[in-house]
Structure 1
């Protein structure tokens, strides 16, 4: 009965560990604005991301100016936008835009009293930072760039309640899942009749859970990119996915290393303690080793 209870507790602990790592990553990794902006900042120099931004912004500028019927003007505008993505002003706009979007989404999912509706972002602060960068770089006519307040929807209104509920669940799970996993693991080892075997099983289960978490990250990347429409640049989306899940991959490797190391140390400790028992068993079977030679007699 003790072994059965220990097996159940150990299995539950090994299942909760990767789930807890996922909840902690989502709640404290993605929900921290500074960490999120720092993760996304290097992507401003990624060629795939630059091409995706240039195509999206270039198409938007062409539509705004009504230049769809003029291929020459459309090509000129797209090339101008593409060259802009290689400047410091673009990096400033990239970081300011990511910060503004993250702040808006985080405020919407954390504040239950927020007015129902889509999550919107005001582009005026982003435009002001870009304008200041261009003025500092002495770009002609940069001072004449208008800074207008324009609200852009980043999350539809129908998706806000689901995001808010999911964030609340993850925020609670990030605290209780790791604590529950550790408590169950300790209880499983304490209840077991052979604690060394229970510790070895816990280590192996932890390593298996970490490996499954790494597999889930890879499968999630494939499914995420497969669901994207063809017009969206999948290499750029893959670069963003890899940047955001870097901490999750690190957590999976840490679980694998911690579990495998614990299981190995426990097995080595048990193997070492079994060696004297084998010698005693050989002695009881009549195959004891030869007695030591008597000390030599002293000559007078």
Structure 2
């Protein structure tokens, strides 16, 4: 294979590897970061204490209560204030955190079960289990009349049927891509470096390409955040949704930084090694030139000595 063909093949392999690296990170995050129950629970649990999330939940619960309570116009102000303060106070209790974790995990489990089987129809969650856990928590805290809280079966739709079909197809793709894309990226990188005519340049290109791919993935995350918040329906708190988005993508953003740091480190090492190699060659050439310059002088001195003898 000619040098030109080897260079073109190496460039193609390295380019493909640098494209697959961020895609592999994205796939792995979606499958193992969001799809894994334990990791998802560890991600969403701290959000219960987030001020923006608490305010959004308090506002939503308050509005729901006030829609069901009919009071005289002159009493609406005091009643609204009382209900809002009571709900905000509740968001600071252990019962609220229990409700938050139970509701989130129930929704997550329902969605993951629906994605892994072939069931049709929307994904629903029965809030009876959430109510039961909150009731037990309030009873343990000696809340008056906690045992009289009714536990009723109230199903809410988490995911529509059409959305489920689209997500199921994407989920099956992620199950394959989450393993094979990172593996393929590594294999293609090694192949591109081995085929290259100048392996140092190939390593430099790999580092720069990996860093560029990580930077583009970071930009995509930021753009996705902006689009997500822009498309929110009216009445949904953007600050709370932003806090949830940031929490869910924290692992992916960390992977971006790691890929960026790895790419810059590899590129810097290849660049410095090239500078050092050129310096060594320059020193060797200079030493050889001095040796050649000294050789005729030494030969002339030897001839003069023999003539004098």
Task: Please give the alpha-carbon distance, in whole angstroms, between the structure 2 residues aligned to 1:128 and 1:78.
Answer: 23
Task: Please give the alpha-carbon distance, in whole angstroms, between the structure 2 residues aligned to 1:181 and 1:80.
Answer: 54
C-alpha distance after superposition, 1:18-52 (max 9, x if no partner): 01000000011000112112111111111110111
C-alpha distance after superposition, 1:103-160 (max 9, x if no partner): 0111111112x2x211100111111110111011101001111112221111122211
Alignment partner of 1:108 is 2:114: yes
Alignment partner of 1:62 is 2:62: no
Give the corresponding residue for 1:273.
Answer: 277
Distance 1:288 1:25, change over 3 A: farther
Task: Please give the alpha-carbon distance, in whole angstroms, between the structure 2 residues aligned to 1:156 and 1:59.
Answer: 24
236-245 or 69-78: which moved more? 69-78
Give the corresponding residue for 2:252.
Answer: 248
Asked whether the 8 Å contact 1:119–1:154 carries over to 2, the reply is: yes
| Consecutive unaligned residues in structure 2, runs of 5 or more | 296-309
TM score, norm. by length of structure 1: 0.90
1:78 to 84, 95, 108: 84
* SS of aligned partner of 1:152: strand
Asked whether the 8 Å contact 1:62–1:68 carries over to 2, the reply is: no
Task: Please give the alpha-carbon distance, in whole angstroms, between the structure 2 residues aligned to 1:270 and 1:288.
Answer: 27
Query: How far apart are residue 270 of structure 1 and its match?
Result: 2.4
Give the corresponding residue for 1:45.
Answer: 49
Task: Please give the alpha-carbon distance, in whole angstroms, between the structure 1 residues aligned to 2:86 and 2:281.
Answer: 80
Alignment partner of 1:92 is 2:107: no
Give the corresponding residue for 2:305.
Answer: none
75-84 or 156-165: which moved more? 75-84
Distance 1:271 1:100, change over 3 A: same
Asked whether the 8 Å contact 1:43–1:240 carries over to 2, the reply is: yes
Distance 1:279 1:75, change over 3 A: closer
Distance 1:289 1:41, change over 3 A: farther
Task: Please give the alpha-carbon distance, in whole angstroms, between the structure 2 residues aligned to 1:279 and 1:80.
Answer: 79
26-35 or 266-275: which moved more? 266-275
Alignment partner of 1:187 is 2:191: yes
Distance 1:289 1:38, change over 3 A: farther
Distance 1:237 1:288, change over 3 A: farther
151-160 or 180-189: which moved more? 151-160
* SS of aligned partner of 2:48: helix
Alignment partner of 1:2 is 2:28: no
Give the corresponding residue for 1:166.
Answer: 170
- Of Structure 1 and Structure 2, the greater helix share is in 2
Query: How far apart are residue 287 of structure 1 and its match?
Result: 9.0
Task: Please give the alpha-carbon distance, in whole angstroms, between the structure 2 residues aligned to 1:282 and 1:196.
Answer: 24
* SS of aligned partner of 2:173: helix
Give the corresponding residue for 2:222.
Answer: 218
* SS of aligned partner of 1:90: helix
Query: How far apart are residue 63 of structure 1 and its match?
Result: 2.6
Task: Please give the alpha-carbon distance, in whole angstroms, between the structure 2 residues aligned to 1:60 and 1:174.
Answer: 41
Give the corresponding residue for 1:296.
Answer: none
Distance 1:10 1:81, change over 3 A: same
Asked whether the 8 Å contact 1:44–1:50 carries over to 2, the reply is: yes
